[in-house]
Structure 1
Amino acid sequence: MARKIGSRYTAHQILGRGSAGTVWLGEGPEGPVAIKLLREDLASDQELVGRFVQERTALLGLEHPNVVSVRDLVVDGNDLALVMDLVRGTDLRTRLDRERRLAPEAAVAIAADVAEGLAAAHAAGVVHRDVKPENVLLDMQGPLGPGGSHRALLTDFGIAKLIDSPRRTRATKIIGTPDYLAPEIVEGLPPRAAVDIYALATLLYELLAGFTPFGGGHPGAVLRRHVTETVVPLPGIPEELWQLLVQCLAKAPASRLRASELAARLREQLPTLRGMPPLDVDEPDAEPEEAAETPDAGEPQTPVRARRGAVPLVPGAKTDSNRDTHTSMRVPAPDELAGGARGTARAPRAAGAPRPGSARHRAATRRRRLIMAGAAVALAAAAGTGAWLATSGEDAAPAQDTKNTAPASP
C-alpha cells in the first residue's frame, strides 16, 4: 500500500526491514528512490530529530561512486526518513549467505571499493561506525570489476550516529554490531575514522574466510576478544595481503592505515590474486555456550555450539536475519575485558584441550574426580585386605619379617 513521505515522496513497497527502520521502494520528483523510514519511537524523540536536522548538510554533501548518496532528509509529523539513491542489486550479506566466501580477487576488489567510499566520507568529516556486509550494496547493473565483482557502495551513513545520542546510550552503552566493533569502542572511547578501517578489515577477513575473526558465542565474549585476542592467520593468501589485514586489525587505532592508503594498497594486490580460487579453510568451532546436564546421568549432553558470526545482541533473542543493529549494549568493565574469574575470554590452551569453565572442561573434571575416587576406594580396599592378611598371619604364628607388614591406613 502506497504512503506519502513528506510532500515530495511516495513509498510504494517494502524492500527490507532492520532494527532501525524499514526501507521502501519509493518515487520522488526525479524518479525512483530508496526511502529508509525510521521507527516511530525514534521519530518521536525530539533530541534525535534535532540531531537528524544537524546532520543534514554533512549527509547531503557526501557524493562518491562508492557511496549510496542521501538525497533528502524528511521530518514530517511522525515520519523521519532518509531518501537515498536506489541501487539495483543486492547486499553483500546476501551474496555471502549464498557463496559463504569469495575468491580473493573479488573480495579485495569489493573491499577496495568500500575503502574508497570511506576515504571520501572521512575527508568530509563523516565516520560511518557500522561497516558490515549488510551495509554494502552491490550494483548488479553496472560493469563487472576484478574477479567478476560488482561495484560496491556503502550505505546507511549517519544512522549509527543519529541513534547514538547521549541520552539514549549514556557512557555505559555502545552502538554497533559485535563482530565488527573496534577495540576502542568496546573500551568506551569516542569513535574516530579508524573504527571504520577496523570494521572493513574484519569484513575483508570474512569475505576471504567465510567467518569473522572474533565472532561467535555471547556478545560479551565477542567484545572481549576484540580487546584481548590476536587474529588467527589465514593460510593460502599472499603475505603482503595478510600483513595489510593484520595492520588494519591492530588494537591501537594509530597503527591502522587511513582509508585512502588502504584502498591504494588493496588495488596493488589485485594482479597477484588473479585466478586464485576461494580459500579452503575450516570454520573454527565456537566455544560451547552451555550444556544441559541430566540429573541422573554423570555426563552432560552434547554442548550447543554457536555458529561463528551471527550474534544476537539481546540474550535469548533470535539473530536478526540481516544482522541490522543499532541496539545498545553494556560496555564491559575492565576486569571483564581482562578475562576475570567470571569472564569468558578464551585463554591460550593446548590444541584440543577444553576451555576452562566450559561443559567439556566440567565433564573432564568430573571424570577425573570419579577416577580418583575409584582409585582411592581401590587403594583403601587393598590396604584393608593387606591389614587383614597381616592380622590373620599374626593370629596363626609370630611374624618372621616385619618389613613386609603394611601399616594400617590412617
Structure 2
Amino acid sequence: MLRSLASLARTASSATVPTCVRSLHSPAAVSLSSVVPTSTAPGKSPRILITGSLGQLGSELAKMLRAKYGKENVVTSDIRKPDVPEDGPFKYIDVLNYQQMEALIVDHRIDWVVHFSALLSAIGEQQPAKALQVNIQGFQNIVDLAKVHKLRVFCPSTIGAFGPTTPADNTPDLTIMRPTTIYGITKVHMELMGEYYHNRYGVDFRSLRYPGVISAESLPGGGTTDYAVDIFHHALKTGEYTCFLSEKTRLPMMYMHDCLKGTMMMLEAPNEQLKQRVYNLAAFSFTPEEIAEQIRKHVPLKVAYRPDFRQAIADSWPRSLDDTNARQDWQWSHDYDLKTMVGEMLTKLRRHYPAVGKQ
C-alpha cells in the first residue's frame, strides 16, 4: 500500500526488541525500555482519536478526555453523524478506509488512538461477514497506522473472548480461549495481533477485557449483557420486563463509571507499570434474578424469562473474572457494587420517567 509523503516523514525505523516481561500469548515479550515511544512530548497534552465514538463507551470517554486534555485535543469519529453537535472536533470516517484514517491521523497530529469501532456479540452472530470485516480489518488498519506513526493504541477486548472450555469462575488473564462467537473470535485475533505488533515492532498496544457494561447515558447497543441496561428502562416505564436470558445466568458486570475509570487508568499508565498488554477488568457478577430483586427494592417489577439465541452465548462466557494483575500492576480498583449501581441507575433514569415513584 502506497503511503503519503506526510506519512513517510513520520515513519519509525524498524528495531529488534529483546524480551523480558509477562505476556498473555507469547513467551517473547518486548522490553519496556524498547517500546517505540509515542510522539507525545513530556508536558504536552496528547492528541487523541476515538473511533466508534457515538457508541455507549465512546461518547462518555470523550467527555472525560476532553475535560482533562482539552476539547481540541480529542477528535471523535464514527461511520454515522451525531444526532446533536459534538463538543469538540468530529470526523465522519470509515475505519476500513486506510487512506482516510491516515489523513486524519496526520492532519490532526494524533498521538493516541482509542479504537471502539466494532460489531458486538448479538449483532455479530446475525451479520458474521460484516463483523469479520469491521472488527478484524478495522483493527488491522489501526495497528498498521500505529506502527508507522508511533501511536499508542487502546482497543477493548471482552469476556466474549473466552469460551465454554474456559474455567468459568475467577477466570484468569492467561487461560484457555476458545470463543464460539464471531465477536469473540475477532477479539482473540485483536489481542494476538496487538501483542504481535508490540513484540515485533514495539507498538504501544493496550487492551482490557471488559465485562458487561451498565450505563444510564445510552441505550443498549446489541450485546448479550444488554438486558442489564434494558431492565431499568422497563422497570421505570411499564413495571414489566421480558428477559432474553434465564434467571440463573450469572455474568461479570460493571457500572460505566468504573469502566471509564479503568480505561483511563490503562490508557495513561506508564509503560513500566504494564507487565502484560491485555488485562481482565472486573467489578461484580450477578444474575437477572438478582438484579431484578435489587430493583424491586425501589420500584415494582415483574420479570418473565424467555431465553433466546443469546442464552447460548452467555452460557459460553465466564461467571466471574480474576483481575488481580490489573490491581497489582497499575492499582486498579472499582467503586460500585450491585447495590450502589442499581441505586444510581434508577436515580439517573427517573428524570426520563417522572411519573414513576418509589414503592
TM-score interval (norm. to shorter): under 0.3
Q: TM-score, normalised by structure 2?
A: 0.26
